[in-house]
């Protein structure tokens, strides 16, 4: 038997032995057959190393999908034949020389042939296999985890164990075919140059795929901390701290080392994979499914950019859910910045091994801790580790996007400024729940104003909810923001300035960038049945509505986002109004009252505060629609110029509060677009330049009224704040006092109206409104007192047209009474 036929025999025998065992999951692309169709040139598969298990697995995969076989030879135009499968490196040499090998005899011969025969060409198809990386088919067990793929090239015995144990969870990735002729340099260059050039291209490709799938090689935690302590900035902070305390540098260095270990993650690949298998089962118990949108944008950047994931923060589940989704999609889970309050017994060590690194709520007064944390973050980013943090700081108890905190963003920008040649991209992510786990805790915290401390026992209590239905989860990727391009456009000379806190561009970039990221998160919001039902039910006077009117209103809300969406990447729900109402009943958000004249849908007093959380998830999408609708609540008809002058001063503040993009389009154009949609849906009529609401008793008028009521709490809060401020002479009331008085007045209003709405008087909402007014120049502080622009009283008087006389009188009387009592005291 010849050597070639002998090799073919053993190849077929190996394929038959493994064929019944191997199970594949294909990524990039999901349908590899479409990738390789329509190519006239011969195809040669390129593997990173010549491992027997990879060669056999590729043969079985191609046979099952009817792809060109890698086992034979390909014939070039001049008649010379080459193997249809090549390896970039020989595994034995690669292992022996610790990776410092760039030799491939077959590839050398192929390059030589193409240099001799210019009419010949082939397509190279890079192939990467991951044993034990397919998350949908992984099993729980230590033996599966220890034999899964990592960065080290294992020996034959461990490879055999990996094939046996992880053969049913094999992930394979085929790259885009690339012409070898295109990769070769033109002109008179020698073969060595071409070989080096092509080998480096393929090495970079395989490294990018491994970075995308399993992240950078995880160094030991102690090694990373020691590297942080060696950096000049940390050494300088150690010396300064020692001088301040009057101690030796060695003692300050020991303290810095303790800080490092307090902060640093201890990510463990076996623990990661074990957790994601367990979490997969948990999600199946908790949720009906997790819908992921826009992940292809992340895949396009992974491996070539430093990724910083910036999701909204609605639940403790956010940490785990996003990491699970990324792992399931074939991407490396990130290192996650977590509050030190989560570094508790049992939970803390587990989170640390899953990639969490812990930070104190404040660095104030401890420059050494700040230097260590800054350097640790820089080391993570510079080594290519994806990072995740929440720019809101803490979880949103109200369901809306909170004002971003500048700390982590500022540290990220300074890190990027130290090495601006590296590409860094922010990935905004919106996470929407049909039913959130902490709902009852949020209502309790809003009522009492006190946040319960996290404990292991408290987190474990979540397990008692496993039998409840929690619906579906929406994970939507917003438009990525490439930092270098963003800074080049807005701060052209940022590269020439030092990255210290005194840099002018940094002071301006941090708040602008935080608002941009928050806006992109909101633009990717997912409209769910629960959020639309909440928008409608909370707009009814007694939280009860006829089911027919509810379904018509739900249809109207859907049509508004379909025709004039409130964000660039808004996700609309599937099915229709009837199914949305039934889903809300199934999740216990509303209940049905059967009646002979038609069923009614109602919300209990206990559930009403919770529905505000789901309404606030998506209220920003309807902010302009609702504002226009509210203007017609107490005005039967309005001319366009009157409507514009009435709403234009209010809209910028709403944009700031709801993180809505402030584009170059004039407000009049936005307003005209809303009016046209309202006419198309029958909510308004118009003659010439005058717009009119439907007549009393018309069903369309009810829909317009319900839509306008969605924005009423926001406008009432603004009226309370401004009215309170106007009762004090300019420059006589502090910001803290104004916030406190406005909160008390809002709380009193809810009591007088018989409402159970603790979210309405959340002090952070008043603080956020004041922030936006200061940014726009309406307010400023001088000697810790607030001063206001002369335009503010005029805008307040004009806004009175929006409110009905009874409500206007109550709000005015409320604020005047409070100011009078304060003055008397």
Q: What is the reported pLDDT for 807?
A: 67
Q: Which residue has the higher pLDDT, 89 or 257?
A: 257
Mean pLDDT of 718-745: 87
Q: Is the pLDDT of residue 80 over 80?
A: yes
Q: What is the pLDDT of residues 24-77, one digit of tens each?
A: 765 555 566 666 666 678 889 999 888 888 888 888 888 888 888 888 888 887
CATH number for the segment(s) 221-522:
3.40.1130
Please give the C-alpha separations between residue 325 and each of 173, 329, 330, 574, in angstroms, as whole numbers: 18, 6, 9, 21
Q: What is the reported pLDDT for 114?
A: 86
Query: What is the model's pTM?
Result: 0.78
Helix axes 232-245, 221-230, angle to 10 degrees: 70
Q: Is the pLDDT of residue 615 over 80?
A: yes
Q: Which of 22-26, 149-153, 285-289 is predicted least confidently?
A: 149-153
Q: What is the reported pLDDT for 302?
A: 87
CA distance 260 to 253: 10
Q: What is the reported pLDDT for 644?
A: 92
Q: Is the pLDDT of residue 329 over 90?
A: no
Q: What is the pLDDT of residues 675-723, one digit of tens each?
A: 999 999 999 998 888 999 998 778 899 999 999 999 988 888 888 888 8
Instruction: State the DSSP string of 763-794.
Output: HHHHHHHHHHHHHTTSEEEETTEEEE-THHHH
Confidence bin at 557 (pLDDT 50/70/90): very high
Q: Which residue has the higher pLDDT, 229 or 605?
A: 229
CA distance 523 to 452: 31
Mean pLDDT of 615-643: 93
Confidence bin at 144 (pLDDT 50/70/90): very low
Q: Is the pLDDT of residue 145 over 50?
A: no
Please give the C-alpha separations between residue 510 and each of 37, 364, 488, 809, in angstroms, as whole numbers: 48, 18, 14, 42
- CA proximity to 159, closest of 71, 56, 244, 28: 56
Confidence bin at 142 (pLDDT 50/70/90): very low
Q: What is the reported pLDDT for 502?
A: 61
Mean pLDDT of 570-589: 93
What percentage of the chain exceeds 90 in pLDDT? 34
Report whether 757 contacts 611 (CB < 8 A).
no
Q: How far does the chain reach from its first CA to its final CA, in angstroms?
A: 108
Q: What is the reported pLDDT for 816?
A: 66
Q: Is the pLDDT of residue 292 over 90?
A: yes
Contacts 24+ apart (CB under 8 A), 448-455: 453/341, 454/341, 454/342, 454/344, 455/344
Confidence bin at 146 (pLDDT 50/70/90): very low
Q: What is the pLDDT of residues 445-455, one digit of tens each?
A: 766 656 666 66
CA distance 264 to 352: 8
Q: Which residue has the higher pLDDT, 62 or 186?
A: 62
Strands 170-174 and 24-27: parallel
Q: What is the reported pLDDT for 725?
A: 86
Mean pLDDT of 413-431: 92
CA distance 741 to 724: 8
Tell me what the pLDDT averaged over the chain comes to.
83
Residues of the chain with CATH 3.40.1130: 221-522
Q: What is the pLDDT of residues 456-468, one digit of tens each?
A: 555 556 556 666 7
Helix axes 577-586, 529-537, angle to 10 degrees: 90
Strands 178-179 and 335-339: unpaired
Instruction: State the DSSP string of 112-181.
Output: HHHHH-TT---EEEEEEEEET--TTT----HHHHHTS--SS---HHHHHHHHHHHTTSEEEEEPPPEEHH
Q: Is the pLDDT of residue 745 over 50?
A: yes
Q: Is the pLDDT of residue 670 over 80?
A: yes
């Amino acid at each position: 038997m010849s050597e070639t036929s002998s090799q073919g025999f053993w190849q077929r025998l190996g394929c038959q032995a493994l064929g019944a065992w191997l199970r594949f999951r294909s990524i990039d692309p999901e349908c590899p057959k479409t990738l390789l169709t329509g190519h006239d040139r011969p195809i040669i598969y390129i593997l990173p190393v010549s491992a027997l298990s990879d060669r056999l697995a590729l043969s079985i995969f191609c046979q099952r999908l009817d792809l060109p076989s890698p086992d034979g030879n390909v014939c070039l135009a001049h008649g010379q034949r080459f193997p249809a499968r090549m390896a970039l490196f020989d595994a034995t040499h690669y292992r022996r020389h610790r990776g410092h090998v760039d030799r491939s005899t077959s590839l050398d011969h192929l390059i030589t042939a193409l240099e001799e025969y210019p009419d010949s060409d082939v397509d190279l198809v890079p192939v990467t296999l991951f044993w034990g990386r397919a998350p949908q088919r992984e099993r729980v067990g230590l033996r599966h985890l220890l034999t899964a793929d990592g960065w080290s090239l294992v020996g034959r015995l461990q490879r055999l164990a990996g094939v046996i144990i992880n053969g049913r969870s094999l992930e394979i990735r085929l790259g885009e075919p690339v012409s070898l002729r295109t990769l070769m340099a033109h002109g008179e260059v020698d073969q060595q140059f071409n070989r080096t050039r092509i080998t480096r291209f393929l090495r970079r490709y395989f490294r990018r795929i491994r970075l995308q799938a399993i992240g950078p090689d995880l160094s030991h935690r102690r090694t990373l901390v020691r590297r942080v302590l060696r950096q000049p900035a940390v050494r300088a902070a150690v010396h300064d701290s020692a001088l301040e305390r009057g101690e030796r540098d060695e003692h300050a260095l020991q303290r810095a080392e303790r800080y490092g270990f307090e902060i640093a993650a201890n990510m463990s690949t076996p623990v990661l994979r074990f957790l994601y298998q367990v979490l997969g089962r948990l999600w199946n118990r908790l949720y009906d499914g997790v819908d992921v949108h826009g992940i292809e944008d992340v895949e396009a950047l992974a491996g070539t950019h430093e990724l910083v994931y910036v999701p909204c923060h609605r639940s403790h589940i956010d940490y785990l859910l996003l990491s699970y989704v990324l792992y399931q999609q074939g991407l490396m889970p990130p290192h996650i910045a977590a509050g030190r309050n989560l570094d508790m017994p049992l939970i803390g060590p587990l989170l640390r091994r899953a990639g969490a690194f812990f930070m104190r709520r404040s660095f104030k007064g401890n420059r050494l801790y700040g230097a260590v944390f800054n350097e640790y973050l820089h080391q993570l980013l510079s080594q290519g580790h994806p990072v995740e943090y929440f720019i809101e700081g803490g979880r949103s108890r109200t369901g809306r996007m909170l004002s971003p905190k500048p700390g982590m963003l500022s540290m990220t920008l300074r890190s990027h400024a130290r090495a601006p040649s590296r590409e860094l991209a922010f990935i905004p992510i919106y996470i929407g729940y049909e039913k959130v786990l902490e709902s009852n805790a949020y209502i309790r915290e809003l009522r009492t104003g006190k946040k319960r401390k996290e404990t292991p026992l408290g987190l474990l209590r979540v397990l008692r909810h496993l039998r409840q239905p929690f619906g579906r989860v929406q994970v939507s990727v917003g438009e990525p923001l490439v930092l270098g391009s963003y800074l080049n456009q807005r701060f052209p000379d940022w590269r020439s300035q030092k990255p210290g806190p005194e840099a002018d561009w940094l002071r301006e970039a941090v708040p602008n960038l935080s608002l941009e990221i928050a806006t992109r998160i909101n633009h990717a919001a997912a409209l769910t049945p629960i959020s639309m039902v909440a928008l409608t039910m909370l707009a009814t006077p007694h939280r009860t509505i006829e089911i027919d009117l509810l379904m018509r209103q739900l249809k109207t809300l859907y049509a508004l986002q379909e025709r004039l969406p409130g964000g660039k990447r808004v996700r609309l729900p599937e099915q229709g109004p009837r199914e949305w109402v039934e889903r809300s009943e199934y999740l216990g958000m509303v209940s049905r009252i059967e009646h002979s004249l038609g069923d009614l849908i109602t919300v209990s007093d206990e559930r009403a505060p919770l529905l505000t959380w789901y309404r606030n998830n998506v209220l920003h999408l309807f902010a302009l629609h609702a504002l226009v609708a509210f203007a017609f609540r107490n005005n039967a008809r309005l001319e366009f110029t009157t409507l514009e002058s009435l709403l234009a001063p209010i809209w910028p503040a709403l944009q700031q509060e709801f993180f809505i993009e402030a584009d170059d389009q004039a407000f009049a154009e936005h307003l005209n677009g809303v009016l046209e949609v309202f006419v198309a849906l029958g909510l308004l009529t118009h003659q010439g330049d005058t717009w009119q609401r439907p007549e009393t008793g018309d069903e369309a008028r009810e829909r317009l009224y319900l839509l306008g009521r969605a924005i009423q709490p926001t406008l009432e809060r603004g009226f309370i704040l401004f009215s309170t401020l106007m009762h004090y002479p300019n420059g006589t009331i502090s910001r803290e006092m104004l916030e406190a008085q406005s909160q008390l007045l809002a709380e009193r209003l809810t009591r007088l109206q018989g409402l159970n709405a603790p979210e309405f008087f959340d002090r952070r909402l008043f603080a956020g409104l004041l922030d936006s007014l200061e940014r726009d120049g309406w307010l400023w502080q001088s000697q810790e007192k607030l001063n206001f622009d002369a335009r503010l009283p005029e805008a307040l008087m004009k806004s009175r047209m929006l409110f009905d006389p009874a409500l206007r009188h109550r709000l005015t009387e409320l604020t005047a009474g409070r100011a009078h009592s304060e003055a008397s005291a």
